[in-house]
């Protein structure tokens, strides 16, 4: 029997843009998915993760495909060596928190331990990336990288197929955020595909948007690492506006973003795929964090209070 883990994540800047080789900034969450692997009479997957209603059902087929890709990458034959895999942990499985990458990393780590494969984190990350492909054909790799390494990262996908860039960033102090959950599950494959099609249809419009995003993420790195949280908040708002322009927001996400800002959040934006899933609000200090979370809960949304830069 062996156990592995993978961190959840929130993308502070750059979902979707990261797919096209622009830098993005992500923070791992303190919450993890765990995977326990043990020998069994027949292959069985038990999914005990806490989750948004319908999330597991809607992702089931992608999860089966993802696990198959992980087994192939680890050269594990679950017909010949049947296993029971149990997923659990305190990461709430929902669109936006990197739940699929966290579980892929957890399973990769558990298999590595169970079969004594001798993998280092780099190899675990490669396996988790293979697993992510089950959820959407061509992931950028940011989610699995955050799930495996944790912390606050600057990530640039290598479009030529070589190694991606991952740099650790350091904030002067950790700070509070609130994640607000729309309760809606979205398909990363579908939303990423739509952005690609729209970009091909309107290249000039998208070039302008992508250029503006490039400026935003450069300033965001500077602001985050120097503790300029007001500036970080404003840049998050601008990033959210661009995500609206590329049509990946939705009325529930926009409502939560506005609500957070009305209640004093320094900035707010959707996180991850969009068109459902989660948004995040920058709320330095426990008091502001509680206030913004309470405002969202009053409207019937679930929230997660956590910190970035830990
Ligand atoms: C999903 O968490 C982030 C996206 O940018 C897709 C990806 O990076 O592969 C939407």
Gap from CA of 164 to ligand 1 centroid (Å): 14
- 142 and 253 assigned to the same domain: no
- 304 and 185 assigned to the same domain: yes
| CA–CA gap between residue 172 and residue 118 (Å, rounded) | 36
pLDDT at 99: 95
| CA–CA gap between residue 97 and residue 14 (Å, rounded) | 14
Residue 95 pLDDT > 90? no
Gap from CA of 19 to ligand 1 centroid (Å): 7
* Ligand 1 atom with the shortest distance to the CA of 140: 9
| CA–CA gap between residue 145 and residue 72 (Å, rounded) | 20
**Would strands 83-89 and 152-156 be described as parallel, antiparallel, or unpaired?**
unpaired
| CA–CA gap between residue 252 and residue 122 (Å, rounded) | 37
pLDDT in tens, 147-167: 999 999 999 999 999 999 999
Residue 141 DSSP class = S
Among protein residues, the one with the nearest Cα to ligand 1's atom 2 is 272
Gap from CA of 280 to ligand 1 centroid (Å): 16
**Would strands 165-168 and 152-156 be described as parallel, antiparallel, or unpaired?**
antiparallel
- What's the mean pLDDT in 136-154? 94
pLDDT-derived band at 144 (thresholds 50, 70, 90) equals very high
pLDDT in tens, 273-294: 999 999 999 999 999 999 999 9
* Ligand 1 atom with the shortest distance to the CA of 16: 5
- 180 and 156 assigned to the same domain: no
Gap from CA of 40 to ligand 1 centroid (Å): 35
Residue 12 pLDDT > 90? yes
Structure tokens at 233: 């908040």
| CA atoms within a 13 Å half-sphere pointing along the CA-CB vector of 212 | 16
Number of domains comprising the chain = 2
pLDDT at 137: 81
Pocket residue to mutate for ligand 1, from 15, 62, 275, most atoms within 8 A of Cβ: 15
- The Cβ of residue 19 has, within 10 Å, a number of other Cβ atoms equal to 21
pLDDT at 136: 86
- What's the mean pLDDT in 210-223? 98
**Would strands 44-47 and 83-89 be described as parallel, antiparallel, or unpaired?**
parallel
Structure tokens at 261: 């800002």
- 164 and 182 assigned to the same domain: no
- The set of protein residues with a Cβ atom below 6 angstroms from ligand 1 is 15-16, 18-19, 139-140, 142-143, 188, 192, 272-273
Arithmetic mean of pLDDT over the chain: 96
Gap from CA of 277 to ligand 1 centroid (Å): 12
- What's the mean pLDDT in 209-236? 98
pLDDT in tens, 14-57: 999 999 999 999 999 989 999 999 999 999 999 999 999 899 99
* Ligand 1 atom with the shortest distance to the CA of 15: 5
Q: Mark which of 149, 169, 189 sits at the end of a domain.
A: 169
* Ligand 1 atom with the shortest distance to the CA of 274: 10
Percentage of residues in the chain having pLDDT higher than 70: 100
- 85 and 54 assigned to the same domain: yes
CATH number of the domain at 17, please.
3.30.230.10
Gap from CA of 98 to ligand 1 centroid (Å): 9
- 132 and 202 assigned to the same domain: no
> Which residue range forms the structural domain that includes residue 20?
2-169
pLDDT at 310: 82
* Ligand 1 atom with the shortest distance to the CA of 136: 9
pLDDT in tens, 45-93: 999 999 998 999 999 999 999 999 999 999 999 999 999 999 999 999 9
- 204 and 160 assigned to the same domain: no
- 155 and 7 assigned to the same domain: yes
Among protein residues, the one with the nearest Cα to ligand 1's atom 9 is 139
- 54 and 121 assigned to the same domain: yes
pLDDT at 30: 85
pLDDT at 135: 92
Beta strands in the chain (DSSP E): 2-13, 24-39, 44-47, 83-89, 152-156, 165-168, 175-181, 267-271, 278-282, 302-308
- 238 and 121 assigned to the same domain: no
**Would strands 152-156 and 24-39 be described as parallel, antiparallel, or unpaired?**
antiparallel
- CA angle (122 as vertex; 115, 13 as ends), nearest 5: 130
CATH number of the domain at 304, please.
3.30.70.890
- 194 and 280 assigned to the same domain: yes
* Ligand 1 atom with the shortest distance to the CA of 143: 2
- 218 and 303 assigned to the same domain: yes
Distances (CA, A) of 16 to 155, 180, 275: 13, 20, 12
pLDDT in tens, 252-274: 999 999 999 999 999 999 999 99
170, burial (CB in 10 Å: exposed 0-12, middle 13-18, buried 19+): exposed
Gap from CA of 266 to ligand 1 centroid (Å): 24
| CA atoms within a 13 Å half-sphere pointing along the CA-CB vector of 44 | 10
Q: Mark which of 169, 185, 208 sits at the end of a domain.
A: 169
Q: Where are the alpha helices (DSSP H) in 134-279?
A: 142-149, 188-201, 203-226, 229-245, 251-262
Among protein residues, the one with the nearest Cα to ligand 1's atom 8 is 140
Q: Mark which of 154, 169, 184 sits at the end of a domain.
A: 169
pLDDT at 101: 97
């Amino acid at each position: 029997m062996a156990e592995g883990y993978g961190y959840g994540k929130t993308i502070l800047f750059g979902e979707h843009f990261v797919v096209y080789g622009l830098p993005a900034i992500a923070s791992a969450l303190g919450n993890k998915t765990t995977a326990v692997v043990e020998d069994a009479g027949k292959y069985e997957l038990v999914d005990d993760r806490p989750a948004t209603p319908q999330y597991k059902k809607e992702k089931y087929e992608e999860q089966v495909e993802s696990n198959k890709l992980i087994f192939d990458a680890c050269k594990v034959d679950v017909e010949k060596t049947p296993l029971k895999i149990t997923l659990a942990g305190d990461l709430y499985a929902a669109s936006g928190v990197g739940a699929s990458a966290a579980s892929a990393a957890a399973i990769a780590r558990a298999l590595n331990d169970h079969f004594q494969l001798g993998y280092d984190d780099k190899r675990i990350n490669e396996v988790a990336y293979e697993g992510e492909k089950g959820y959407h054909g061509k992931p950028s790799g940011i989610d699995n990288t955050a799930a495996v390494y944790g912390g606050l990262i600057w990530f640039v996908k290598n479009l030529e197929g070589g190694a991606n860039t991952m740099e650790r960033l350091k904030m002067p102090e950790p700070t509070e955020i609130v994640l607000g959950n729309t309760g809606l599950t979205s398909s990363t494959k579908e939303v990423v595909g739509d952005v690609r099609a729209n970009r091909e249809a309107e290249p000039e419009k998208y070039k302008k948007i992508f250029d503006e995003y490039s400026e935003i993420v450069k300033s965001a790195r500077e602001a985050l690492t120097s503790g300029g949280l007001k500036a970080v908040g404003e840049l998050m708002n601008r990033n959210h506006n661009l995500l609206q322009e590329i049509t990946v927001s939705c009325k529930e996400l926009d409502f939560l973003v506005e609500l957070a800002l009305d209640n004093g959040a320094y900035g707010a934006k959707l996180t991850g795929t969009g068109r459902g899933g989660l948004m995040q609000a920058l709320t330095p200090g426990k008091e502001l964090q509680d206030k913004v979370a309470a405002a969202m809960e009053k409207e019937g949304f679930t929230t997660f209070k956590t910190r970035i830069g830990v």
